[in-house]
Structure 1
Amino acid sequence: MEREKWTNSINQDRKTSLLAWEKETGIELVQINGQRRYGGPPPGWVGDPPPADTEVYIGKLPQDLYEDVLIPLFQSVGKLYEFRLMMTFSGLNRGFAYAKYSNHRGARDAIAALNHYPVRQGCAIVVCWSTQKRELSVDGLAASVSQQELEATLQRATQGILSVTLHASPHQRQAKLAVLKYSSHQAAALAKKALMEGNLRLRGSEMRVEWLHPDLKQKLQLWEERPPASQVQENKRLAVPKPLALSPAVQNMLDHLNTLCGRQCLGMPLFLTKCIRVSPHGWLQFWFQVQIPGYPVPFSGFTWVRQDGQGQSRHEEAKAAVALHMLRVLGEPLGPSWHRELLCRSHN
């Protein structure tokens, strides 16, 4: 593995300090595939790697902050198995990193001690449990791409592909969206890099490759569960159901929560909802979970909602009710109209 060359004209003083620290401590950092890594395993490690629940995500890093500061900081709360800093080709970091500890307690202590820790004046970092993402969305594939063709291409060019599903693109007409599931986060990350660099030569224009967003995953599942609106008799193909537009009231609540989280530098909230019960009076009970990147643990609970009279998606109604509750939890002052909306839309 070769170390990627840095652009010497950018941030030279900090790079010089890092090289001096490497020489003084004897620590070896290896940069490959857009990340620079220490350990995995570290020197002297004996035995199997630690389990998945020992890794933390580190966000909101100043881009000129490096391992000479970060590794000693995260070693101060527990024994590190691995530290990975995401890098740009210019030699700046990409604003986030992952620290894996030798046991669960080390990761837990890192979150307790270092979440919102000020690494510099006015620069507080985020430390929370790492989510091992394994699914990608590839939007903008040519409408003529078949699942068999796509699977064959991915099996030749990537490792660890478990499943491929094709859908009509929700964003581009006459295009397809693929959901790719891999055996590990590392396999998915390498596939994402190859796709973004155009190495797989998939047919399509304006392709967009991203980690599969929970909201998109939920919408795709809803479309699959909803019966087709019509059937085209000429060629027996079923029409693809279209997603429902959000009502203004629902969109207003979600926008309000997104704005509040942005103002408090918490990151975009991610919703998961699941309908678990229907009452005889037309109310539906939902389990929900809301992950806010700036918080170390997700919020979860239960709420009752009624289905919108205009045919609004039940899951969107649940998200609206949860958004109102989250605004209250985050200390946002709500006027009388918001409280009336909350009482009208949901009850606990």
Structure 2
Amino acid sequence: MANDFKKPEKLKYMIVQISLTLVDSQNNENNASLLEWMKRCNINLVQVNGQRKYGGPPAGWVGEVPPPGTEIFINNLPREIFEDKLIPLFQCAGKLYEFRLMMAFSGHNRGFGFARYTTVHNAELAISMFHGYEIQPGYRIGVSKSIEKCHLELDGLPNAIDKDVLSSVLGKMTAGLEKVLLFASPNIEMKNLAILKYSSHRAATMAKRTLCEGSYLLFGCRIQVNWMKNTIKKKMYFKALLKPHTSVSQLNPNEPPSPSGVECLRLICDQLGLGQPTYQIKFLSLGSCGWLRFWYCVVLPNNCDPFTGYAWLIGDKLIPTDKYEQAKEIVALRILAKLGYVCD
């Protein structure tokens, strides 16, 4: 039975300095204008995960990050317009702390971006000045207040998870976590739902990316990571969410612990006559927030194809033996899911 797990993307958050290689055949003239403006104005841009960013903070900035309400959302941009036209325009409303333009692989922009000002007043002024502004013939841009989401949903958590344990784990994995609330999942039977509050939209965005990369193996089953939905927000307001499910082992502390995934796989392979699994695990690199990436190959002697793939674990503080045992557990749970014995 072949394993078809996809190889994860390379680690995100790789910063690429804008350079003269930016000029391409499609946008030759506009890119050349951008590069000339960057050089003339001593502007520095960096590209991060499909967005190109100025500032955050800008050169010479002293002080705290501007408060909520200072960011605006800009849409309906012509695809071939760049920062050399946009930043000077939006600076007319006040000092910019940050400007982010969403970019496509083609080298064009994706039609929208974000600008953060140093004050709420400047952000409100920019909305009044530029909403409906004709930036090019036939292109009237939309400008509105950016919705700065700070809450995430983690759905599908096992009912054995304790809120304090979850808070501790997430606090190590992500930055800016302020609060964790735990409820019974309204969507997945006998699973729990966590609501995570972060200190800022940026912190929540970075946490979402980190959790989406590694959440599959947080607790041995797939975790759904999303921005908090309005339906959940309303249920919280009306106190309609139920208390979290508690595992049987928590209700009966004298009951012997459940067997591990490794032990379950061994027993099932024995019953099916597949032979005892042999594990080959190679640790590759330590990622952001303590994620340790590894490659695995598990052979069942009487099965045609080995199970291979890549996975992650929280491994920055583990000794080598514990890393290997945790990796085996993660892989065993994946194979059990593949064989249909646990929920994926």
TM-score, with length taken from structure 2: 0.55
Deviation, 1:142, is 3.6
1:1-348 superposed matches below 5 A: 2-3=15-16, 12-13=27-28, 14-32=30-48, 35-45=51-61, 49-87=65-103, 91=107, 93-198=109-214, 201-203=217-219, 205=221, 207-224=223-240
Q: Deviations over 1:187-214 (max 9, x none)?
A: 2111011112237842365543222233
Would the alpha carbon gap of residues 213 and 125 (structure 1) be closer, same or farther in structure 2, given more than 3 Å must change? farther
Would the alpha carbon gap of residues 120 and 128 (structure 1) be closer, same or farther in structure 2, given more than 3 Å must change? same
Partner Cα distance (2:26, 2:219) in 1: 39
2:43 is paired with a residue whose SS is coil
Partner Cα distance (1:32, 1:8) in 2: 18
* Structure 2 segments unaligned to the other structure (5+ residues): 1-13, 245-250, 253-344
Given that 2:51 and 2:102 are in contact with CA atoms closer than 8 Å, whether structure 1 keeps it comes out as yes
Given that 1:160 and 1:182 are in contact with CA atoms closer than 8 Å, whether structure 2 keeps it comes out as yes
Which protein shows a greater Rg? 2
2:214 is paired with a residue whose SS is coil
Report the identity percentage: 44
Q: Deviations over 1:267-317 (max 9, x none)?
A: xxxxxxxxxxxxxxxxxxxxxxxxxxxxxxxxxxxxxxxxxxxxxxxxxxx
Given that 2:96 and 2:117 are in contact with CA atoms closer than 8 Å, whether structure 1 keeps it comes out as yes
Partner Cα distance (2:33, 2:57) in 1: 24
Would the alpha carbon gap of residues 18 and 63 (structure 1) be closer, same or farther in structure 2, given more than 3 Å must change? same
Between stretches 167-176 and 187-196, larger displacement belongs to: 167-176
Aligned amino acid, residue 2 of structure 1:
I
Deviation, 1:176, is 2.7
Q: Deviations over 1:252-276 (max 9, x none)?
A: xxxxxxxxxxxxxxxxxxxxxxxxx
Aligned amino acid, residue 3 of structure 1:
V
1:344 maps to which residue? none
Partner Cα distance (1:189, 1:21) in 2: 30
Would the alpha carbon gap of residues 126 and 137 (structure 1) be closer, same or farther in structure 2, given more than 3 Å must change? farther
Given that 1:77 and 1:110 are in contact with CA atoms closer than 8 Å, whether structure 2 keeps it comes out as yes
Partner Cα distance (1:142, 1:61) in 2: 44
Between stretches 143-152 and 161-170, larger displacement belongs to: 143-152
Would the alpha carbon gap of residues 128 and 7 (structure 1) be closer, same or farther in structure 2, given more than 3 Å must change? same
Deviation, 1:155, is 1.3
Given that 1:11 and 1:64 are in contact with CA atoms closer than 8 Å, whether structure 2 keeps it comes out as no
Given that 2:102 and 2:111 are in contact with CA atoms closer than 8 Å, whether structure 1 keeps it comes out as yes
Given that 2:182 and 2:243 are in contact with CA atoms closer than 8 Å, whether structure 1 keeps it comes out as no
Deviation, 1:182, is 1.1
Would the alpha carbon gap of residues 41 and 161 (structure 1) be closer, same or farther in structure 2, given more than 3 Å must change? closer
Deviation, 1:124, is 3.3
Deviation, 1:20, is 3.5
Aligned amino acid, residue 55 of structure 1:
E
2:58 is paired with a residue whose SS is coil
Partner Cα distance (1:34, 1:7) in 2: 14
1:258 maps to which residue? none
Q: Deviations over 1:53-108 (max 9, x none)?
A: 43322234455543222212212332323212344666554543221223333222
2:308 maps to which residue? none
Deviation, 1:128, is 1.7
Given that 2:22 and 2:31 are in contact with CA atoms closer than 8 Å, whether structure 1 keeps it comes out as no
Aligned amino acid, residue 209 of structure 2:
K
2:186 is paired with a residue whose SS is coil
* Structure 1 segments unaligned to the other structure (5+ residues): 229-234, 237-348
Deviation, 1:177, is 2.2
2:303 maps to which residue? none
Partner Cα distance (2:207, 2:64) in 1: 26
Deviation, 1:3, is 1.4
2:328 maps to which residue? none
Would the alpha carbon gap of residues 4 and 175 (structure 1) be closer, same or farther in structure 2, given more than 3 Å must change? farther
Between stretches 28-37 and 46-55, larger displacement belongs to: 46-55
Aligned amino acid, residue 182 of structure 1:
Y
Given that 2:74 and 2:141 are in contact with CA atoms closer than 8 Å, whether structure 1 keeps it comes out as yes
Partner Cα distance (2:124, 2:218) in 1: 42
Deviation, 1:33, is 5.3
Aligned amino acid, residue 16 of structure 2:
R
TM-score, with length taken from structure 1: 0.54
Given that 2:131 and 2:141 are in contact with CA atoms closer than 8 Å, whether structure 1 keeps it comes out as yes
